[in-house]
Amino acid sequence: MIDPITLIELTNLKAAGKLEELAAHPQLGMKPDWIGELAQSGNPTVRKTLAYNPALADFPTIVEKLSKDRSTIVRVYLASNPAIVTAPQAVNKLGESGPVDIRSALATNPALVNFPKIIQKLADDEHTVRFFLARNPSIANFPEIIQKLATDKARNVSEALASNPAIPTRTARI
């Protein structure tokens, strides 16, 4: 059932031209057509804000669209959004993205637990990406990745793993 108060709030934000606030609203999914409009906004700040909205979990086609956005910052925000789990092709695209910032953001995403191949790919990436992956608690169920990161040549990667609260201290200091 649609909450009329929330619907009024969303309508008021749109009418006032407060598109960034609208894009951030957690109940934006009540107006699916507006999500599509915001994804096509000429303003990258609006698209960036939408890209991190948890409501995107119900809109995998929008996630797919945003994963191809021309703005790197939009793709960075999308890569860090756990809602992308509903769009596996987008996750794969982001994992193969050119800019290291996008892959680094993806490496922090707790939804990675559902994408072991992407975790493996990120574990073989640049040291910055490996650093962020080592800090991600969702790698705890991947002993081969933990082993690889624990013995990484880049000291900051093994240190990041040692500070990961989901990894037993003994394991992280191999």
**Identity at 85, one-letter amino acid code:** V
Tens place of pLDDT for every residue, the chain, 174 residues? 567 888 898 999 899 999 999 999 999 998 899 999 999 999 999 999 999 999 999 999 999 999 999 999 999 999 999 999 999 999 999 999 789 999 999 999 999 999 999 999 999 999 999 999 999 999 999 999 999 999 999 999 999 999 999 998 755 555
Which region holds residue 84: left if phi is over 0, alpha if psi is between -120 and 50, else beta? alpha
pTM equals 0.91
d(CA 99, CA 60): 23
- In this structure, the number of other CB atoms found within 10 A of the CB of residue 69 comes to 18
